Structure formats: structure tokens, C-alpha cells
Amino acid sequence: MASGLLEIQPSELAFPFEVKKQSTCSMQFTNKSDQFVAFKVKTTNPKQYCVRPNIGVVQPRSTCDVTVTMQAQKEAPPDMHCRDKFLIQTVVTKDGSTTKDVTAELFSKEPGKVVEECKLRVVYIPVNHPSPVPEEPEEGTSPRFSNVENGNRSSVQIIKLTEERTYALQQNEKLRQELVQTIIVKLTSSLTCSWFFWQLIISCINKTQELLKKERNRRSGGFSLKFLLIVGLLGALAGYIMKRT
């Protein structure tokens, strides 16, 4: 929108509207003249909008960007219609002016002073979140084939998990059987050794009794030294075996 002093773009303030979210819109002021032009931005709803900068000076043959932020709203207005408006006032100021030189009196309407005004309305643009777009099947395939493929993948995963579970159970049973076999072998070995030692003791006793009987038959007056040595050795062997068991 062109005015006598500044060219203002856009011609209306369009805000993407989404409940409970802020939205921004930009304006650009272009000074195509050889004069310093001061501007001031006003709105009919100052609590709803934040304008930065809301005042300033546009130098000759230059531009100025202005950002307008709309505060988040709790609910959407009926029919997405907004009645808010903005007013941009512009006036020629002295050369070399800066933002510090812009005052309210500069825009007061006095005889001989030209204060131009430009009104912009506010419009809301609904924000529609795009719905997820399904991936297009490759050339030569159909959506039904894709669904079947996904189903096959799920079946393969289920079968794989079942096989892993079966393998784990088999390994557990194998370890349990090995443990039981180890315990049985140790117990059997211990019992076998004990039985062997006791059989040896019994054999020694029997042998001693036989020698004792023979010695009595041969001599009625006492035992020989050889007999006593044999009996002593058998007794020592029996004692050693009993200690080991």
C-alpha cells in the first residue's frame, strides 16, 4: 500500500492462527523520497499485540522492518473474524533525526503540518495440521501387498521370539540335568570308596582270624614273632583305612 510518504507492505496483517500459541507478522516501510520520515504504529487492541519498533525514522531511500506479535488466545473467535485494526502515522521530520527525536507532539495535527495515516485490518489464517500421508507403494506393488508384507514381518518376528524362548528353556533343562548327573556321580564315587574300604577291613579281619586259628593249632604255648608282626601290620592298615573313611 503506497502513501505519500511511505510505501507500506503488506496491505493487511495476516496472522496464522492457532489456539494457545503466539503468532507473528511483519511489515516493511519503504521511503522512496529524499526526506527523513518518522512513523508511529497504533492498534485498537494494544493488549493483544506487541509491535517492535512501534516508532522510528526511515531515512531517505531506505526501508524499515516492523514485527507484530499476536499474543496466544484461549479460543478461536467466531468464524475466525477479527475486528482489530492498525494505524500507521507518518510525518516528515528534520534531516538527521533518529528514533530518540520521535515524540507524540510530532504527530499532532496542527495547521500547516501534514500527518498521513494508513489503516490496516487484521485477518486470521487457520492453521491446519497436515495429516500423516501414507507412503505410496513402489511401482508394481499395491497397498494390499504392502499390508501383507507388514503382516509377514510381524509373523517372522513372533516365530523368532518363540524359537529363542524354546532354545533358552532347552539350555536350562540341559544345565539342570548336568547338575543332577554330577551330584549322582559324586555320591556314587563316595559310596563306592566307602564300600571298598569296608570290604578291605573285613578281609583283613578274616585273614587275621585265619592266621590266629592256624597259629593256635600249631602251637598251644604262644604266638610266634612273625604272627604278631602280621597282625600288627593288618591292624595298622585297618586303622589307616578307617581314618580315610
The string of pLDDT tens digits covering residues 45-72 is 999 999 999 999 999 999 999 999 999 9
Q: How high is the pLDDT of residue 19?
A: 93
* Cα distance between residue 71 and residue 19, in whole Å: 10
Rounded Cα–Cα distance for residues 80 and 76 (Å):
6
169 — pLDDT class (breaks 50, 70, 90): confident
| pLDDT bucket at 181, cuts 50 / 70 / 90 | confident
User: In 3D, which of 67, 34, 38, 37 has the Cα closest to residue 50?
Assistant: 67
Contacting residues for 241 by C-beta, under 8 A, at least 6 apart: 197, 200, 201
Q: Can you tell me the distance from the alpha carbon of 37 to that of 45, in angstroms, rounded to the nearest whole number?
A: 25
2 vs 113, residue with greater confidence: 113
Residue 102 confidence (pLDDT): 96
Q: What is the pLDDT of residue 40?
A: 97
Cα–Cα distance measured from residue 48 to residue 82, given in angstroms and rounded to the nearest whole number: 12
Q: Are 19 and 74 in contact (CB under 8 A)?
A: yes
CA-closest candidate to residue 199, choices 132, 155, 245, 159: 245
Residues 162 and 190: their CA atoms lie apart, in Å, by 43
Write out 114-139 in H/E/C secondary structure.
CCEEEEEEEEEEECCCCCCCCCCCCC
Backbone angles phi, psi at 63, to 5 degrees: -130, 165
Provide the 3-class DSSP secondary structure of residue 4. coil
State residue 141's pLDDT score.
Answer: 53
pLDDT at position 118, please? Answer: 95
15's CB contacts (< 8 A; 6+ apart) are 23, 24, 25, 70, 122, 123, 124, 125
CA distance 80 to 125: 8
d(CA 217, CA 214): 5
